[in-house]
């Protein structure tokens, strides 16, 4: 009964294709497969914007929350006007994920985010983002190596190193204070959110990893480790430790339930 924790992960809106498909919620298969491979049961979460009752009912059943990559976080979430350099946004997804993050923080429920995931964690805790790193941050290296049709950029391509803070949770999982990562983002953390500690940086100083400071499992990274789990053991370890934290949370929750009964 303790072996497979339930991991919730929000979907993303897919606009309708006239004459072919209605509006849909979608989820990248790679995220789901990695969660399954590490021994969890993934739970894709619909974007029922404004329906706190249903979202809370889903959340209560979860042992951890995993936040994936995707479209840009809407700047209104951090009190800025949307600039032309900002890409497509998904307000129902922003609302859903921010609610889940805040509940996880209140309950010390394990939380992990990748790419957009680390950005929305930062926003949910009061931080801000560069709407486009290249346009708004002087001296930045290229970060937006999005896959293209001629395969000159691929999702598993190692682009640049990140420096990892010594004695951080991330350093213990990576097993090193410098690792090579892939890079598929054009936004990034500007002002760090409350209760977060920066734990990794790209060569230009952009924050690439964050952790919580309250002792519970909260880790976010700017790269896409799910694409690297089969070739780089530290990236798989990142997921394995998240799932183990969720498993421990499940056990504690069950023990409290038995005690109250």
Domain containing 126 — which CATH number?
3.40.50.880
**Segment 122-162, tens digit of pLDDT:** 999 999 999 999 999 999 999 999 988 788 899 999 999 99
Contact (Cβ atoms closer than 8 angstroms) between residue 70 and residue 119: no
65 assigned to some structural domain: yes
Residue 258: the pLDDT is 56
This prediction's pTM: 0.95
- Mean pLDDT in residue range 37-66: 97
Q: How confident is the model at residue 259 (pLDDT cuts 50, 70, 90)?
A: low
pLDDT at residue 3 tops 90 = no
Contact (Cβ atoms closer than 8 angstroms) between residue 34 and residue 81: no
In which order are the strands placed within the sheet that holds 196-201?
A: 41-45, 6-10, 64-67, 111-114, 218-221, 207-212, 196-201, 160-164, 178-181
**Segment 165-193, tens digit of pLDDT:** 999 999 999 999 999 999 999 999 999 99
pLDDT at residue 261 tops 50 = no
Residue 1: the pLDDT is 47
3-class secondary-structure state, position 152 = coil
38 is catalytic: no
What whole-number distance in Å separates Cα of residue 131 and Cα of residue 190? Answer: 9
224 is catalytic: yes
230 is catalytic: no
Q: How confident is the model at residue 18 (pLDDT cuts 50, 70, 90)?
A: confident
Of 185, 186, 224, 249, the catalytic one is 224
10 Å CB burial of residue 120 (0-12, 13-18, 19+) is buried
10 Å CB burial of residue 124 (0-12, 13-18, 19+) is buried
Give the distance from CA 203 to its chain's centroid: 21
- Mean pLDDT in residue range 230-235: 96
1 assigned to some structural domain: no
66 assigned to some structural domain: yes
Please state which of the ranges 118-122, 147-151, 213-217 shows the lowest mean pLDDT. Answer: 147-151
Domain count, the chain: 1
Domain region containing 40: 6-260
Of 211, 226, 227, 241, the catalytic one is 226
Of 115, 143, 186, 211, the catalytic one is 115
């Amino acid at each position: 009964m303790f072996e497979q924790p339930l991991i919730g992960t929000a979907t993303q809106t897919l606009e309708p294709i006239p004459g072919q498909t209605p509006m849909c919620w979608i989820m990248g298969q790679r995220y789901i497969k990695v969660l399954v491979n590490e021994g969890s049961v993934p739970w894709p979460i619909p974007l029922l914007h404004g329906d706190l009752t249903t979202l809370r009912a889903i959340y209560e059943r979860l042992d951890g929350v995993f936040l994936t990559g995707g479209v840009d976080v809407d700047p209104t979430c951090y009190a800025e006007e949307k600039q032309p350099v900002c890409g497509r946004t998904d307000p129902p997804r922003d609302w859903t994920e921010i609610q889940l993050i805040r509940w996880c923080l209140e309950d010390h429920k394990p939380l992990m985010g990748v790419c957009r995931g680390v950005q929305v964690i930062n926003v949910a805790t009061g931080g801000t983002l560069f709407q486009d790193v290249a346009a708004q941050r002087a001296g930045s290296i290229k970060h937006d190596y999005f896959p293209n049709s001629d395969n000159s950029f691929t999702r598993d391509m190692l682009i640049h190193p990140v420096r990892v803070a010594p004695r951080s949770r991330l350093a213990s999982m990576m097993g090193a204070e410098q690792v090579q990562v892939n890079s598929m983002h054009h936004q990034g953390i500007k002002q760090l959110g409350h209760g977060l500690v920066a734990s990794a940086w790209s060569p230009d100083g952009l924050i690439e990893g964050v952790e919580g400071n309250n002792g519970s499992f909260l880790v976010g990274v700017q790269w896409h480790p799910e694409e690297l789990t089969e070739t780089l053991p530290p990236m798989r370890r990142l997921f394995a430790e998240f799932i183990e934290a969720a498993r421990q949370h499940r056990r504690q929750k069950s023990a409290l339930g038995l005690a109250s009964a």
